[in-house]
Amino acid sequence: MQRHLIPVWFFVGLLLAVYGVLIAASGIAELGQPAKTVLAELHAPVWWGALLAVVGGIYCVVFRPRG
């Protein structure tokens, strides 16, 4: 039987991209009133979420299921 296993990297990319969008959106929504955590002024959710979305997006495109 010919196998057409979707690469695990595609699943990784998909999950990271979705997480990145969620985290960045939540960071942007809270820009006005950051969480009461240490170093909250660095707004990590915004840039870390964006990084996740970009890395995830690249993985999704490069390892997308083919024919």
Contact residues for other proteins, defined by CB under 8 A: 3, 5-6, 8-9, 11-12, 14-16, 18-19, 22-27, 30, 34-35, 37-40, 42, 44-45, 48-49, 52
Residue 12 CB, nearest approach to other proteins (Å): 5
Cβ closer to other proteins: 49 or 67?
A: 49
- How many whole angstroms separate alpha carbon 63 and alpha carbon 17? 13
- How many whole angstroms separate alpha carbon 48 and alpha carbon 20? 7
Residue 41 CB, nearest approach to other proteins (Å): 11
What ranges in 1-67 are assigned the alpha helix state H? 8-29, 44-62
